[in-house]
Amino acid sequence: MHRLDLDHGHVTYTDTGEGDLVLLLHGGGVDHRMWHDQVDVLAAHRRVVVPDLRGHGEASTLDAPGRHCDDVAALVRHLNAGPAVLVGLSMGGGAATDTALEHPDVVRAIVVSGTATSVPTFTDPWVLGILQEWQRAIVERDAAAYVEASLAFCAGPTRTLDEVAGDTVQRCRQMLTDTLTRHASPDAFLPEPVHDAEVRLGEIEVPVLALCGDLDSPDHRDMGRRLAAGVRDGRYAEVPGAAHYPNMEQPQLWDAAVQAFLEEVLVPTR
């Protein structure tokens, strides 16, 4: 793992391949390992950088106010290989959108899954129940309960965990547990959002793909639709047979959709 020191802490990252720069931004509570199935596929023709954002994995704990979008921009500038395609899931998707708004010079295109911005909107009782359990677990400092509540997103509202494809649940449980162990508290890894991001979506001029699992909650899919409709060059698609982690649950379908998008937006300059 490489390391980039910041004003308050550091991020770590893997760096694989050569060519156009693609950053893979993980979801909340998990880490760079969620992209294991994507790195070799994408790095066959591109440079793929996968960070642990502050408060996660091997990065420093986010114990002071900070924005992930600023860290992402700092990393792209440090690599001196931008602008980059930002591919982000959930919290990482919010960071991608925020970066496109706050640091447009470092962004070439974005792929977002399971969110729109870093200020998500939830109305579904199923999601609200999980958030309520999160809050109870935080107050009671019950890390195990926090992990189990988080794992519900692997299945989505219509399935049980036993129905989730592959080793998605086991991998997520390990990453969530490791993050809580390393960073001490379930509320230690909450970044500062760009609060007005949703009303500013029209400022985003780069191509945007909102790619969501078709079994994710209606809230998460609706946020993706709003993002695609709110930017100047957006499109929305769903990965069948997957919930909140489509890249892990249906990697071949996810990879094919992302590869097609990258081939469209990364047209060689002649």
Domain count, the chain: 2
Residue 270 pLDDT? 40
Does the pLDDT of residue 185 top 90, yes or no?
Answer: no
Coil, helix or strand at residue 207: coil
Residue 138 pLDDT? 84
Residue 178 vs residues 55, 127, 135: alpha-carbon distances, Å: 11, 23, 20
Does the pLDDT of residue 103 top 90, yes or no?
Answer: yes
CATH number of 14's domain: 3.40.50.1820
Does the pLDDT of residue 36 top 60, yes or no?
Answer: yes
202 and 156 in a common domain:
no
204 and 100 in a common domain:
yes
Confidence of residue 82 (pLDDT cuts 50, 70, 90): confident
Residue 28 pLDDT? 93
23 and 77 in a common domain:
yes
Does the pLDDT of residue 186 top 60, yes or no?
Answer: no
The answer to whether residue 34 is domain-embedded is yes
Does the pLDDT of residue 171 top 50, yes or no?
Answer: yes
Residue-wise pLDDT for 208-225, tens only, equals 999 999 999 999 999 999
230 and 179 in a common domain:
no
Residue 58 vs residues 50, 75, 248: alpha-carbon distances, Å: 12, 15, 21
Range list of H helices, the chain: 36-43, 68-79, 91-102, 125-140, 143-155, 168-183, 218-230, 246-249, 251-265
The answer to whether residue 270 is domain-embedded is no
What pTM was estimated for this model as a whole?
A: 0.96
Q: Domain range holding 80? A: 2-121+189-265
Nearest CA to 110 out of 140, 136, 85 is that of: 85
